[in-house]
Amino acid sequence: MYTRRMIRFRTILLMLVLSLPLSGFAQDVTRPAFADLQQRHAAPLLLDVRTPAEYGDGHIAGALNVPVDEVAARHGVLGVPRDREVVVYCKSGKRAARARDTLQSLGYTNVHLLEGSVDAWRADGRPLVRERPSP
């Protein structure tokens, strides 16, 4: 039988554990917060991990396109220190999460997902740029 003291201890311990980021990952960056950073010209590196065709059909201004399957091999093209803030997005978030995991395994320490990825960005009525990525 648990005493009140044990129950309080377990409750406090649970609260502490729940307040920590899951698996060491930082929280997603909200779309409004990212749009605000863009307007202040303080935006982190924005990485679009969709295919070049998807990127060409509409991407967030300033995004660098490196398809998710190429992130490990091409992470050098990011041209940023491994502690620089990087925000990753794709269509819905699944590929972005894979890319975040890959970047973190390569030593990037400040990688975030754009909340809702480009689907949510588009649903918010935020602007997209249509152009082909450079090789």
Report pLDDT digits (tens) over 40-89: 555 689 999 999 999 999 999 999 999 999 999 999 889 899 998 999 99
Whole-model pTM over 0.75:
no
Comparison of pLDDT for 115 and 5, the residue scoring more = 115
SS3 1: coil
How many folded domains does the chain comprise? 1
- Expressed as residue numbers, the domain containing 45 is 23-123
Flag whether 66 is in a domain. Answer: yes
88 φ, ψ to 5°?
-110, 140
Nearest one of 124, 118, 123 to 56, comparing CA atoms: 118
Nearest one of 40, 56, 46 to 96, comparing CA atoms: 46
Range of weakest confidence among 12-26, 53-67, 103-117? 12-26
Residue 96 · residue 117 · CB < 8 Å: yes
Which residue out of 29, 47, 49, 90 is catalytically annotated? 90
Flag whether 106 is in a domain. Answer: yes
The CATH number of whichever domain residue 113 belongs to comes to 3.40.250.10
Active site residue 90: yes
